[in-house]
Chains A and B, each alone.
Chain A
Amino acid sequence: MAKELWKGNEAVAEAAIKAGCRFFFGYPITPQNEIPEYMSLRLPQVGGCFLQAESEVAAINMVYGAAGAGARVMTSSSSPGISLKQEGITYIAAAELPCVIVNMVRGGPGLGGIQPAQSDYFQATKGGGHGDYRIVVLAPDSIQEAANLVQEAFDIADQYRNPVMILGDGMIGQMMEPVEFTEVKKRQLPEKTWATTGLRGRKEHNVVNSLFIDPAVCEKHNQKLFAKYAEIEKNEIKVEEYNLEGAEIVFAAYGTVARIVKNAIKALENEGIKAGLIRPITLWPFPKANFYKAAEMPNVKAFLSVEMSMGQMVEDVEISVKGKKPVYFYGRTGGMVPTPKAIVEEAKKILGGAK
């Protein structure tokens, strides 16, 4: 299939259809509206169900229901809407059900604005809802990568019986880029013997639940979840390392910002400064080892995390680097996008001071 120009939101929706997603529940919010719009057109064509819920809370609980019945199901929203979905997400994580949640992040806090941001990093990677739980967070930097990751997200969700979030920003949602829908390698997945689809000859009902009233049982359930999260951390880290060899400064950036940083790296190179980039593709699990390894490289003087936030991922970079090298932060927020020029200036300022 030849490459075609796709809008990010529509490519995400089509990728979900291709991955076998047959249920979508959502509620409108900018800048992700093309996802439900596209799903409302396509799902009936493939025998699926699109439903615009009365609210985000309703939508995520419909996701809970469909996931419990073993369906491939997705919902999408943007920052304030994702906040509303958090109760449902922690229930789904606790009940160990697979689903895919898309967040095309906009400026916050509160209603914020509608322009692109990355200020939901904490919410996505550190819980979001209550209780001890983790969701897998995938952060594409292009429309092609978004199309691939969405397809893989459904397999990851099914393999671990866990919610997976696609964390984009408004630009990933709104931008058009060439996409080729390649067959993403399908995983060997366990049968959904736990799904609540009727007795089917079995004696015992399957029960989907997140209530563990006996503290000993509840603790045991937490331990079981965390054994699973340890498996995910072992198997599922995705990261891009760029230009690290001989780099004096290593940037940390994800999503669209990583591409802006690559422009800055080129500009720095033209001025004789070698810079590299570590781009986490999975924000959880976070590629800690890659950062630690880079911190041990004698050529690396400092790290600079560049984000469309007031500084969130920078904390994970600090944890990963374990104090071996200084970690700095530069960010724009509220819908403002950093320019390559400003990033170059920031890097030069740091190297001037670090020498």
Chain B
Amino acid sequence: MTHQIIMAGFGGQGVMSMGRILAEAGLKEGKNVSWLPSYGPEMRGGTANCSVIISDEPVGAPTVTEATAAIVMNRPSLDKFEKDVLPGGHLFINSSLIDRKATREDINVYYIPANEIADELGTGKIANMVMLGAYIKVTNAAKEETIMEYIEEIFSGKKAELIPLNKEALKRGADCIK
């Protein structure tokens, strides 16, 4: 099984970290992984995206042009990447910020009000983890426990108080999937 994921949004929405967290979890589970960021004159408010691959086989092209899933955090990202999802693939739309529906009918579409949920949890910054929770619930690309294992490693000391918040965000995202 090979998961080829595109994650995209505004700079500052945590798109790069979401990809990194997923890749780290994949690696922990003994999978072959790659994380390829868009790079350039990007800044807070600009657009950012990354391609993540999690596979049982060695990773070939690190670029994702045929995505098994796409997570889009804002409207420009939906406009840009909807076409790149393989037929039968999954598209996760941040419905808090995206005012249109998907046009494709040959893919599975999930509308996640990620920012509303994140605001309920106390910080809009956690919207990425809400999306990630929904994504792993549908695809099983990585286990929630493995993601939390990595989160516990990076949030040590004073930042440890953020661990339960991340866990809750993953759960709330997963709950959006019926």
Q: In the complex the two chains form, is B34's CB within 8 Å of A175's CB?
A: yes
Which residues of B1-44 have CB atoms within 8 Å of chain A's CB atoms?
20, 23-24, 27, 32-37, 39-41
Chain A residue nearest to B52 (CB atoms) is A176
9 additional A-B pairs beyond A5-B33, A174-B37, beta carbons within 8 Å, are A5-B27, A114-B41, A170-B39, A176-B20, A256-B62, A266-B60, A340-B61, A341-B65, A341-B66
**10 contacting pairs across A/B (C-beta < 8 A):** A5-B35, A114-B41, A171-B62, A175-B35, A175-B37, A176-B20, A176-B34, A256-B62, A262-B61, A337-B63
Is there an interface contact between A115 and B62, defined as CB atoms closer than 8 Å? no
Do A3 and B35 have beta carbons less than 8 Å apart?
A: no
Q: How far is the CB of B70 from chain A (nearest CB, A)?
A: 16
B62–A259 contact, CB under 8 A? yes
A335 to chain B, nearest CB (A): 9
Give every chain A residue within 8 A of B62 (Cβ-Cβ). Answer: 171, 175, 177, 256, 259
Bound complex: CA A175 to CA B61 (Å):
11
* Shortest Cβ distance from B40 into A: residue: A114
Known: A5-B27, A31-B39, A114-B40. A171 touches B33 (CB 8 A): no
Given the complex, which residues of B lie within 8 Å of A52, measured CB to CB?
A: none
Residues of A within 8 A of B32 (CB): 178
Q: Give the residue of B23, B39, B61, B66 whose beta carbon is less than 8 angstroms from that of A5.
A: B23
B interface residue count range (under 10 / 10 to 19 / 20 to 34 / 35 or more): 20 to 34
A182 at the interface (CB under 8 A from B): no
Contact bitstring A326-343, B, C-beta under 8 A = 1, else 0 = 000000000001011100
Interface flag for A61 (CB, 8 Å):
no
Q: Which residues of B contact A244 (CB under 8 A)?
A: none
Given A5-B23, A5-B27, A30-B40: A177 touches B65 (CB 8 Å cut-off): no
Q: How many residues of A contact B (CB 8 A)?
A: 24
Q: Are B20 and A30 in contact (CB under 8 A)?
A: no
Interface of A is mostly: mixed
Q: Which residue of chain A is the closest to B62 with respect to CB atoms?
A: A175
Tell me the nearest residue of chain A to B33, going by C-beta.
A178
| Given A176-B23, A177-B33, A177-B34, A115 contacting B63 (CB threshold 8 A) | no
6 closest cross-chain pairs (CB), A and B: A260-B61, A176-B35, A263-B60, A262-B60, A339-B65, A175-B36
Partner of B39, one of A174, A259, A262: A174
- How many angstroms between the C-alpha atoms of A266 and B62 in the bound complex? 15
- B138 within 8 Å of A by Cβ? no
B60 touches A30 (CB 8 A): no
Instruction: Determine the distance from Cα of A94 to Cα of B63 in the docked complex, in whole angstroms.
Output: 40
CA distance A272 to B23 in the complex (A): 33
Give every chain B residue within 8 A of A4 (Cβ-Cβ): 27
> Is B160 located at the chain interface by the 8 A CB criterion?
no
Expressed in whole angstroms, the Cα–Cα distance for A341 and B20 within the complex equals 27
Given A259-B60, A263-B60, does the pair A174, B33 have CB atoms closer than 8 Å?
no
Query: C-beta contact mask, A139-176 vs B, less than 8 Å → 1, else 0?
Result: 00000000000000000000000000000001100111
Determine the chain B residues whose CB is within 8 A of the CB of A263 once the complex forms: 60-61
Q: How far is the CA of A178 from the CA of B29 in the complex (A)?
A: 12
Question: Are B36 and A5 in touch, CB under 8 angstroms?
Answer: no
Smallest Cβ distance from B64 to chain A, in angstroms?
10
Instruction: Give CA–CA (A5, B21) in the complex, Å.
Output: 10
CB-contacts of A126-145 with B (<8 A)? none
- Cβ of B162 within 8 Å of any chain A Cβ, yes or no, is no
Set of chain B residues within 8 Å of A266, measured between Cβ atoms: 60
A339 and B65 CA atoms in complex are apart in Å by 7
Q: Which of A105-119 contact B (CB under 8 A)?
A: 114-115
